[in-house]
Structure 1
Amino acid sequence: MKEEKRLVVAITGASGAIYAFRFLEAVVEHYDRIFLTVTENAVSIIKQELGITLPTGIKGAEAILGGYAEKIHVLAPDDLSAPPASGSVHYQGMVVIPCSMGTAGRIASGISNDLVTRVADVCLKEQRRLVLVIRETPLSLIHLRNLTALSEAGAIILPAAPAFYCRPKTVEDLVLFVVSRVMEQLGIRQTVIPEWEMVTE
């Protein structure tokens, strides 16, 4: 029997909600099931940045992914009894996109006070892939120490820092560059942007 491919995606209250939406659109076809949790602060950010009032449950998934909504299992951010909160439930990894520095700090300190931090803790202890797409600047010494601790514990720290060598023409191009880097960290051959070629002109 073929093993079901599963991924956990968390959207937290850092600026950059568009990264999460475009990432989900890009990876949904690569997984059989995606567990999605959206923090209360993230709901506010999504409304502010994208003008989307995010409903709960399947309606929330439809707001993000439309026809792919059946693959998305929306979980309440305070539901510590949700399947991914247990290390005995198998999934390939977790992406927190965007990841607020408050969330990163709690994960680094081992504080599992909500579903996001609990699943991240499970990924670290079970040695599963954990990608934290941080979006903050400048970074304080506290931020840097927390990120160092997370990297040492096995997390992948992926700043939402798009490159410009591909000569992006739109904000969407910049967003998709970051999405492509996250996909590669999950072992997915990205096709959302062209591979880089040397510009000779």
Structure 2
Amino acid sequence: MNQDKPGATNSDKTYVVAITGASGSIYGIRLIKALIEQGYQVLAIVSHAGLQVLVHEMGYDPKDSFYDFLEQYGVNFSKGSRLEVFTQDDIASAPASGSFVHSGMAVMPCSMKTLAAVASGYADNLITRSCDVCLKEKRTLILGPRESPMGIIHLENMTRAARAGAVILPPNPSFYTFPRNVEALVDTVVARTMDHLGAEHELGPRWES
């Protein structure tokens, strides 16, 4: 894949966003959109199964570039923002190395397969290797497990990942801000994700007493 936005400049913060094969690919797309529109550099990794879910749930055409898809979705590439896109097979890419410094990674949505791999240290592709690097380098790693109901194996894997340093952030949207549509509802999860990444955003009002 390896698609760069031509003419973009680097920002001072780089985030890694992975989209895996769980339902809810809109969470990953909305997160990428929010980061790009804040001017951050984004490294997106889409798994094989994640690509299939994007086709099914969001109408992504594999013949189109991911960058074109984001533009069609309404992503506005701001000055200073930059996007690179990888597949899970690009194992020699920057996020796979501990010497590559970034500001945090989020797996949204996170499949139970990916969760199990992270929890057990099974780094067999770029996504799971990048997660493993985050944990060993003590960088922020957010996992958004999308499954219901959760079985004991899922819960134990989440506990193991949390003990290793991951933030377990299930994509459970909130309603107290009275979101007006599906995108606004999804953004309640994206906002919490960006908070934990230390990324600025204006995705909605914060709770005040």
TM-score (norm 1): 0.89
Runs of at least 5 residues in structure 2 that lack an aligned partner in the other structure:
1-9
Q: Which residue of 2 aligns with 1:34?
A: 42
Instruction: Please give the residue correspondences for 1:84-95 in structure 2 after superposition, counting only pairs within 5 Å.
Output: 84-95=95-106
**Contact (CA 8 Å) 2:55, 2:62: kept in 1 or not?**
yes
Superposed displacement of residue 159, structure 1: 0.5
Letter in 2 for 1:53: D
**Alignment size in residue pairs:** 195
Q: Relative to structure 1, is the Cα distance of residues 33 and 189 closer, same or farther in structure 2, using a 3 angstrom cutoff?
A: closer
Q: Pick from 121, 125, 128: which aligns with 2:132?
A: 121
d(CA) in 1 for partners of 2:63, 2:129: 23
SS of match in other structure, 1:167: coil
CA displacement at 1:74 relative to structure 2: 1.0
Q: Is 1:68 aligned to 2:74, yes or no?
A: no
Separation in 1 of the partners of 2:40 and 2:174?
A: 31
- The answer to which of 101-110 and 69-78 deviates more is 69-78
One-letter code aligned to 2:69? A
Larger helix proportion, structure 1 or 2? 1
Distance 1:148 1:97, change over 3 A: same
Distance in 2 between residues matched to 1:13 and 1:21, nearest whole Å: 13
CA offsets per residue over residues 71-115 of structure 1, 9 Å max, x none?
111112112111110101111111101110110000100000000
Q: Indicate conservation of the 8 Å contact 1:134/1:157, yes or no.
A: yes
1:147-195 CA distance string (max 9 Å, x none): 0001111000001001122223322221111111111111224311122
Equivalent pair of 1:9/1:97 in contact (CA under 8 Å): yes
Mapped partners of 2:11, 2:43: distance in 1: 16
Where in structure 1 are there 5+ consecutive unaligned residues?
Answer: none
Residue 76 of structure 2 corresponds to residue 51 of structure 1: no
Number of the residue aligned with 2:89: 78
User: What TM-score do you get using the length of structure 2 for normalisation?
Assistant: 0.86
The equivalent residue for 1:11 is: 19
- Structure 1: how far apart are the matches of 2:77 and 2:201? 19
1:108 aligns with 2:119: yes
Partner deviation per Cα, 1:113-156 (whole Å, 9 max, x = no partner): 00000000000000000011111110000000000001111000
Residue type at the aligned position of 1:61? Y
Shift of 1:62: 2.8
Sequence identity of aligned pairs in percent? 41
User: How many angstroms apart in 1 are the aligned matches of 2:61 and 2:145?
Assistant: 23
Give the whole-Å Cα distance in 1 for the aligned partners of 2:55 and 2:161. Answer: 30
Secondary structure of the residue aligned to 2:198 is coil
Secondary structure of 1:176's counterpart equals helix
Stretch of structure 1 that moved more, 21-30 or 141-150: 21-30
Partner SS, residue 21 of structure 1:
helix
